[in-house]
Each structure stands twice: as C-alpha cells, then as structure tokens.
C-alpha cells in the first residue's frame, strides 16, 4: 500500500529508524520479526552497520543563482548552479529541493519541484509561484540561495511511471504544476512512450515550460481545463484514445475531477499525481504532510502511496 521513496538510498536508514518509526522495516518499528516487502539490502542491516543511528542527512548549502527570470507578476524561474551529483540525483520525476533566502531562518525553507536538471553542466531550474511569506521572501534575492536536497516524493504513483514503456500517456498540468510535468514528460519519452500534454496556465500569466519541451516528440494542447470547453476536450481525448497512464499536475480538486473522468471513461488507466501535501521538513519528522491510509498515519513527504486510492479516499486525509 505504501513504500518509502528513500529506502535503499544514501539517506537510508533515516531518523525514523532511530525512533522505531521506519516506514519499511518491521524491526525498526519495534517488532521482533521480519515483516517487510523491501527487495534490496536489508535496512536493519544498514542500520546496525551504521552504529545503530541514522545515516548522515541532507545538508543545506549556499548555491549560486545563474539567472533569475521574472514571468508576469507572480512567477520567478531560478537557474541555480549545484554539484553535478545533486543535479543527477534530481533528474527523477517528482524530485524537489528546499530553498530559502540566505538571510532568513530555517523555518523559511520551502519545498520546490525541479523543472529541469542538467548533470553535465551542474544546473537546476525551478519555478516559484509567489504566494505567501516564504515565497515572497525570495523576491529580492539575486546572487545566492540556500538549497537542501535531493528529495524525491513530489509525485505519487512513481512505480506506475517507472514501469510504463511503448505506451500512450496523457499529462495534464496546470499553473505552477507545469514545472514538475517537464521531468515527467521527459521520463516518459525516454521510455519510448507517446506523450500528449495538456497545458493550462492557470493563475500564471503564460505557459512557461515551452523552452523545456521538444514539440517534435510531444503533442501539446493549450486549454483551460476548468472551463466547459476544457472539460469536453478531456472527455473527447479519453474517449477517443487509449491511454495507459495519466499524470495530473495541479490541485487536489483537479486530481479528483480527472480521476472521476478516468473512472468513467478509461478505468484501466494508471494514475499518477503531483504530491500536494503540506511538505515542511521533508524527512518524515514534523508531521505536517501526514495522511491517513487505512488505520496508519503516513508521512507523505517520504511514502509512495497509490494515487487512485489517495484521491478516492481523500476524506481520510487528516
């Protein structure tokens, strides 16, 4: 039902292991026996080898801003120089980092999806929508920014995405969620899938990702999916085409609407969504992103949960 996105990574075991809250390992949940479904090298073994403590966690560092591009009145694209290793780690769809202004304390850390990562040049691009005090504090920075990462759980249903090849996929992205749709579409194309991309600028003043998608291998359609004509467009697409996978980038309300359409018109289509939970620490510690799956409380900053389940059983969200 759920899996830790960090299991087996350089950051596993994490602090959750120290407090018997590991998402994967039954021993590290305080039980006396094995009851896991992890297919890699044993997490408990890693924990014991590491002196019964968490591996070193992600550290914040100061990165250089290569370019800051303001789009309309409420969007900034930052191009940031980072280590090539970090850029490589952030190429996976769903990757995100925490950023903040260097003159602000840690609680200004705000999670931001990766739009583009280049591991040859060591750069990452992110799109920031200016909404509240965290993002407003980024308006005036120009040379340096504090970065912490890599984090990966920015989308739910990664396994569906990972296993799709030689198939048709539909990506529907709106507003600032256009940014993470770039990595999703690149990943699907790499695996020889045909991608149709519905672009809705939402509250942003323009479609800001055209520079990041190759129009020769993606079919792009601009639409306002909240309008009546946009809805008809989606219904037409789903009725007349066979999509093995659908990715929704946008609000939880958008996820629900699209899931409804899928259930009616294309029930076998696998569903992948961007993770909209209020991610605050990214490490499963603070609890801001907790959701309830069955009887269990899951930290959605780390746990992969079935997207269809979480959208349909949305009332279980704490």
Partner 1 sequence: MTKVIVIGGGWAGCAAAVTAKKAGAEVLLIERTDMLLGLGNVGGIMRNNGRYTAAEEAILLGAGDLIKLTDKASRHVNIEFPGHKHASLYDVCKIEPMVRRYLLNMGIDIMFKTRVVDVELEDKTIKGVILNNNNVIYGDVFIETTGSTGSMGNCLKYGNGCAMCILRCPTFGPRVSISMKAGVEDILGQRGDGSYGAFSGSCKLNKDSLSKEIVKELDEKGVVVLPLPEEEINIDKLKMKVCQQYALKEYAENIILLDTGHAKLMTPFYPLEKLRKIKGLENARYEDPYSGGIGNSVRYLSIAPRENSMKVKGIKNLLCAGEKAGLFVGHTEAIVTGSLAGHNSVRIDKGIKLLELPVSLAIGDIIAYANEKIKEKDGLKMRFTFAGSIYFERMKELNLYSTDRELLRKKIERLNLINIFDEKIV
- For partner 1, the binding residue among 2, 44, 96, 243 (CB under 8 A) is 44
Q: What are 268's two structure tokens?
A: 């076998």
Q: At what angle do helices 252-265 and 228-240 cross, to 10 degrees?
A: 40
Among 24-32, 70-78, 182-190, 231-239, which window interacts with partner 1 (CB under 8 A)?
A: 24-32
Q: Report the nearest approach of partner 1 to the CB of residue 203 (Å).
A: 37
* Nearest CB to partner 1, comparing residues 37 and 240: 37
Among 35-43, 73-81, 174-182, 211-219, which window interacts with partner 1 (CB under 8 A)?
A: 35-43
DSSP string over 236-257:
HHHHHS--SEEEEES-HHHHHH
- For partner 1, the binding residue among 3, 9, 15, 42 (CB under 8 A) is 42
Residues 6+ apart with CB under 8 A from 312: 259
Among residues 43, 145, 12, 151, the alpha carbon closest in space to that of 89 is found at 151
Assess contact for 57 and 9: CB atoms under 8 A.
no
Q: How far is CA 195 from the centre of its chain?
A: 19
Assess contact for 211 and 237: CB atoms under 8 A.
no
- Partnered with residue 87 across adjacent β-strands are none
- For partner 1, the binding residue among 3, 19, 21, 26 (CB under 8 A) is 26
2 belongs to the binding site for partner 1 (CB under 8 A)? no
40 belongs to the binding site for partner 1 (CB under 8 A)? yes
Q: How many CB atoms lie within 10 A of CB 235?
A: 13
Q: Report the nearest approach of partner 1 to the CB of residue 272 (Å).
A: 15
270 belongs to the binding site for partner 1 (CB under 8 A)? no
DSSP 8-class letter at 315: G
165 belongs to the binding site for partner 1 (CB under 8 A)? no
Q: Report the nearest approach of partner 1 to the CB of residue 166 (Å).
A: 18
* Nearest CB to partner 1, comparing residues 32 and 229: 32
SS3 annotation, 64-112: EEEEEEEECCCEEEEEEECCHHHHHHCCCCCCEEEEECCCCCHHHCEEE
* Nearest CB to partner 1, comparing residues 270 and 302: 270
* Nearest CB to partner 1, comparing residues 159 and 253: 159
Q: Which x/- pattern over 48-67 shows residues binding partner 1 (rule: CB under 8 A)?
A: x-------------------
- For partner 1, the binding residue among 33, 120, 133, 216 (CB under 8 A) is 33
* Nearest CB to partner 1, comparing residues 11 and 44: 44
- C-alpha torsion 57→126→23→134, nearest 10: 80
SS3 call for 285: coil
First to last CA, the chain: 18
Q: Report the nearest approach of partner 1 to the CB of residue 1 (Å).
A: 9
Q: Report the nearest approach of partner 1 to the CB of residue 38 (Å).
A: 7
Q: How many residues bind partner 1, per CB under 8 A?
A: 18
Q: Report the nearest approach of partner 1 to the CB of residue 304 (Å).
A: 13
38 belongs to the binding site for partner 1 (CB under 8 A)? yes
Assess contact for 75 and 176: CB atoms under 8 A.
yes
E strand or H helix that includes residue 265: helix 252-265
- Partnered with residue 114 across adjacent β-strands are 126
20 belongs to the binding site for partner 1 (CB under 8 A)? no
Interface residues with partner 1 (CB under 8 A)?
25-27, 32-45, 48
């Amino acid at each position: 039902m759920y899996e830790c996105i960090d299991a087996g990574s350089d950051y596993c075991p994490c602090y959750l292991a120290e407090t018997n809250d590991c998402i994967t390992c039954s021993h590290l949940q305080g039980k006396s026996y094995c009851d896991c479904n992890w297919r890699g090298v044993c997490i408990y073994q890693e924990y014991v080898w590491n002196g019964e403590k968490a591996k070193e966690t992600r550290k914040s560092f100061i990165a250089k801003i290569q370019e800051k591009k303001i789009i309309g009145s409420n969007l900034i694209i930052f191009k940031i120089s980072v280590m090539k290793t970090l850029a490589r780690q952030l190429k996976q769809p769903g990757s995100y980092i925490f950023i903040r202004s260097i003159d602000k304390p840690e609680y200004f850390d705000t999670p931001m999806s990766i739009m583009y990562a280049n591991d040859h040049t060591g750069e990452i691009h992110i799109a920031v929508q200016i909404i509240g005090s965290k993002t407003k504090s980024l308006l005036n920075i120009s040379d340096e920014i504090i970065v912490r990462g890599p984090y990966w759980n920015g989308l739910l249903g990664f396994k569906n995405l990972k296993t799709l090849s030689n198939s048709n996929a539909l990506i529907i992205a709106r507003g600032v969620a256009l940014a993470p749709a770039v990595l999703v579409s690149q990943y699907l194309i790499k695996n020889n899938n045909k991608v149709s991309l519905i672009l809705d600028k939402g509250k942003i003043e323009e479609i800001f990702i055209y520079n990041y998608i190759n129009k020769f291998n993606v079919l792009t359609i601009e639409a306002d999916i909240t309008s009546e004509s946009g809805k008809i467009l989606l219904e037409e697409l789903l009725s007349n085409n066979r999509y093995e996978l659908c990715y929704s980038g946008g609000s939880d309300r958008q996820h629900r609407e699209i899931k409804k359409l899928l259930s009616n018109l294309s029930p076998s289509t696998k569903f992948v969504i961007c993770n909209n939970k209020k991610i605050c620490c990214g490490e499963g510690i603070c609890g801001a992103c907790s959701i309830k799956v069955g009887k269990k409380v899951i930290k959605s900053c780390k746990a992969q949960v079935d997207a269809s389940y979480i959208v349909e059983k949305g009332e279980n969200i704490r």
